[in-house]
Amino acid sequence: MIDLKDFEYDELIQYLQSIGEKKFRAEQIFSWLHKGAESYDEMTNISKATREKLERETYISALKIREKYVSSIDGTVKYLFELPDGNCIESVVMRYHHGLTICISSQVGCKMGCRFCASTIGGLYRNLTAGEILNQVIFAQKDIGERISNIVMMGIGEPLDNYDNVIKFLHNVNNEKGLNIGLRHISLSTCGVVPGIYRLADEMLPITLTISLHAPNDAVRNTIMPVNHKYNIEELLKACRTYVDKTKRRISFEYSLIHGVNDSMENAFELAELIRDLHGHVNLIPVNKVEERNFEKGSSADIRAFRDKLTSLGINATVRRELGADISASCGQLRKKVIQC
């Protein structure tokens, strides 16, 4: 059976024509799918005969809300979504002054093995399909009843390890006949899958690329991010420069501050020198405690000192505000608790 949400718009047109339907049907069906229709019966402007035909070969994938938590501090909503095969993924909706932002997953689990990350502890189960990535936005928006305007691909999984489905998703979510979310309102975060960065540069999509750097040199990065053994910092930053040159978009860096590992003043100095020529913004994330890991965050004074050092060296840096602190909103933590599902 075909999930209609796995088609890009042009592919949907082709498919519908191949079963004897007119081109304009694609627009109607695409729109229904992206509004969160869960059955063909809801598509009231599609004839019964067409609906029956579609039902024979295709299905409309959906996500079941397995658990939902709403933060009483800041309104952050965290979903544990159940996929049709019983696997679970997490998505988080955050309220910012510029609108609702959803943090979505790209894989069930992750194989990248970052030492501080909860999502990778059980390894990679499977890639999400393009439809499953999109469904997180569709069903969160449907549940909340407000438009989601921004997306960050910073949930479970490594987006560039599921490249084709992620690109298909980006095309679909940006399509004006569907959710119509601007690519400039979408960030994609990678731990540094270098070939994926080069491929992405060629797509010329005006998304924001975010690099999970987390260390100012290979010695430190090797101890916390296994991907660095394959693509070291020099190769990673070379790919970043190519990306910036080609797309004319700035890159952001994520830097999780782990006390005693990467948060000394010397580290701040090294980091500033390393990324200076890329003119990127640095997002500092005080490391979130993960039960299985013994990494700790520094005091607020340590964190402020690191930020101030970067700023004084001419690097634009901010400390990420913690949202949803009362609902363990950092990805990977909720799924891990119910991994048997």
Select 312 or 316, whichever has its Cβ closest to ligand SAH: 316
- Fill in the per-residue mask, 161 to 190: x = in contact with ligand SAH (CB under 6 A), - = not in contact: ----------------------------xx
Select 6 or 254, whichever has its Cβ closest to ligand SAH: 254
Q: What minimum distance in Å lies between the beta carbon of 53 and ligand SAH?
A: 40
329: DSSP letter: -
Select from 40, 116, 125, 243 the one that contacts ligand SAH (CB under 6 A): 116
Structure tokens at 48: 């019964």
Q: Residue 199: helix, strand or coil by DSSP?
A: helix
Per CB under 6 A, the segment of 23-31, 164-172, 265-273, 284-292 that binds ligand SAH is 284-292
DSSP 211-244: EE---SSHHHHHHH-THHHHS-HHHHHHHHHHHH
Whether 94 contacts 83, CB under 8 Å: no
Q: What minimum distance in Å lies between the beta carbon of 190 and ligand SAH?
A: 5
Structure tokens at 76: 């952050």
Exposure string over 170-203, b if 16+ CB within 10 A, otherwise e: bbbbbbebbbebebebbbbbbbbbbebbeebbee
Select from 154, 181, 186, 282 the one that contacts ligand SAH (CB under 6 A): 154
Whether 180 contacts 216, CB under 8 Å: no
Q: What minimum distance in Å lies between the beta carbon of 160 and ligand SAH?
A: 8
Instruction: Look at the block and give the residue holding tokens 């405690």.
Output: 289
Count of C-beta atoms within a 10 Å radius of residue 292: 7
Instruction: Tell me: does residue 191 bind ligand SAH (CB under 6 A).
Output: yes
331 is catalytic: yes
DSSP 143-154: HHTS-EEEEEE-
Instruction: Tell me: does residue 207 bind ligand SAH (CB under 6 A).
Output: no
Select from 290, 303, 315, 334 the one that contacts ligand SAH (CB under 6 A): 290
Per CB under 6 A, the segment of 21-29, 47-55, 111-119, 175-183 that binds ligand SAH is 111-119
Select from 256, 262, 264, 267 the one that contacts ligand SAH (CB under 6 A): 256
Separation CA 35–CA 185 (nearest Å): 19
Residues that bind ligand SAH (CB under 6 A): 114, 116-117, 154, 158, 189-191, 212, 254, 256, 285, 287-288, 290
